[in-house]
Amino acid sequence: MTANSEYLNELQQQGDFLTLSRNNEWHLAAGAFTLSNGTAVTIHDTGVIEFQPKCDTTIDVVLSSAIHGNETAPIEICDDLIKRIILGDLQLAQRVLFIFGNPQSINIGKRFVEENLNRLFNGHHTVEGVRMNNERTRAAKLEQYVSDFYQRGGQHRERCHYDLHTAIRGSKNDKFAVYPFLHGKPWKKSQLQFLLSCGVNTVLMMKSPATTFSYYSSFVHGADSFTVELGQVKPFGENDMSRFAKTKATLSALISQKEVIYKEFDASDFELFAVHRSINRTEQDFTFPFSDDAENFTGFSKGDLLATDGQTCYYADVEGEAIIFPNADVALGQRALLTVIPLQLTDNII
Ligand SMILES: [Zn+2]
């Protein structure tokens, strides 16, 4: 038996694709097998596994986690779904591609090894004059796997991609999703209904292109794609999984049912925000006036200090301007803070 078929046998028996990926941090030989229910399983690489059920399908679903390696709860959710599929406990009704983005960063318990993977998508992995590293190579490969997956599914099918994360700090709105910039295309009620079913009622509408995985799938492949933040980071095994029960049940239904009926759309169920501005760190001396544990979506009064970048002070210029993802430790030139303001739903939704 070759090493390749040995790992395939073990995977088929135990369904533990997460451990297999963690034991092969940057590369795993491709392989394939078929489950007794007819579902075709293809391992494209470490952390990248595709399931194609025998039945007719209508949606091509990408579920990614571990784009940041220390964000454990989504990894645990996907690990469990993969196990149940391989062991035959969850029968699929849709094509699914699971991605554990950065296995080495899972192993070291860090957000990333050398570079933040979620700043490298949509071509930003390959920049003339910038040295390639493992994360840049990985971002390029992940784009290719997603592209191939959607292309094999074919045109005129529903495409979705949920990139699952947990936030570094707590949030007034525990779970929230980022709706990538759609370049004028309308937002979709059906997607907001899906998110609500996952326990996510707060959605941040982006107004410009990004380097994120979700923006890539949305922009390049027309997928309904979101970065979904499921709560605060905890080490493996310390997550209170009951807080993720709705997310897990909804994802499970999405991939195992021909159709899922969600609660009727009601705009008052949601808190929507639009990005107001992005504040970059340009100086070594960069500080926030609020404490390290200030929560995402904390609002400020007009005129309040938001950040100090060397000699430059940033003040809230809109009443209720709220902070998202503050991180004073980012590399020079990168985003240290995003601010948002409340948004009313307009006509631009279908
Ligand atoms: Zn993350």
Residue-wise pLDDT tens digits, 5-36: 789 999 999 999 999 999 999 999 999 999 99
What is the C-alpha to C-alpha distance for residues 100 and 75, in angstroms, rounded to an integer? 7
Ligand 1 center from residue 67 Cα (angstroms): 6
What is the C-alpha to C-alpha distance for residues 149 and 64, in angstroms, rounded to an integer? 13
Ligand 1 center from residue 102 Cα (angstroms): 11
Catalytic residue among 50, 135, 229, 295: 229
How buried is 308 (Cβ within 10 angstroms: 0-12 exposed, 13-18 middle, 19+ buried)?
Answer: middle
Helix axes 72-86, 3-14, angle to 10 degrees: 90
Q: Which of 36-45, 100-109, 160-169, 190-199 has the lowest mean pLDDT?
A: 160-169
Residue 231 has pLDDT above 90, yes or no: no
The 10s digit of each residue's pLDDT in 49-89 is 999 999 999 999 999 999 999 999 999 999 999 999 999 99
The 10s digit of each residue's pLDDT in 109-153 is 999 999 999 999 999 999 999 999 999 999 999 999 999 999 999
The answer to whether 3-268 and 279-340 have equal CATH topology is no
The pLDDT of 326-337, averaged and rounded, is 91
The residue with tokens 């209508």 is 58
- Please check whether the domain covering 279-340 is classified as CATH 3.20.20.70: no
What is the C-alpha to C-alpha distance for residues 282 and 308, in angstroms, rounded to an integer? 10
How many Cα atoms sit within 13 Å of 83 on the Cβ side?
11
pLDDT class of 205 with cuts at 50, 70, 90: very high
Percent of the chain with pLDDT over 70: 98
Respond yes or no: is residue 6 known to be catalytic.
no
User: Per CATH, which fold does 3-268 belong to?
Assistant: Aminopeptidase (3.40.630)
Residue 276 has pLDDT above 70, yes or no: yes
| pLDDT of res. 348 | 85
Angle at 19 between CA 16 and CA 25, to 5 degrees: 135
Ligand 1 center from residue 33 Cα (angstroms): 32
Residue 3 has pLDDT above 70, yes or no: no
Residue 294 has pLDDT above 90, yes or no: no
Helix H or strand E segment including 274: strand 271-280
Residue 155 has pLDDT above 90, yes or no: no
**Residue 44 marked ligand-binding:** no
Ligand 1 center from residue 205 Cα (angstroms): 17
**Residue 161 marked ligand-binding:** no
For 292-313, the DSSP string reads TTPPBT-EE-TT-EEEEETTEE
Are the C-beta atoms of 75 and 107 separated by less than 8 Å? no
Q: Which of 170-184, 272-286, 295-309 has the lowest mean pLDDT?
A: 170-184
| pLDDT of res. 240 | 84
Residue 223 has pLDDT above 90, yes or no: yes
Ligand 1 center from residue 165 Cα (angstroms): 4
**Residue 71 marked ligand-binding:** yes
3-state DSSP call for residue 10?
helix
What is the C-alpha to C-alpha distance for residues 326 and 318, in angstroms, rounded to an integer? 18
3-state DSSP call for residue 30?
coil
3-state DSSP call for residue 115?
coil
Residue 293 has pLDDT above 90, yes or no: no
Ligand 1 center from residue 78 Cα (angstroms): 15
What is the C-alpha to C-alpha distance for residues 327 and 323, in angstroms, rounded to an integer? 11
Tell me how far CA of residue 75 lies from CA of 25, 72, 99, 204, in angstroms: 15, 5, 9, 23
The residue with tokens 């970059």 is 280
Q: Which of 13-17, 248-252, 293-297 has the lowest mean pLDDT?
A: 293-297
Residue 161 has pLDDT above 90, yes or no: yes
Domain ranges, ordered by start, for the chain? 3-268, 279-340
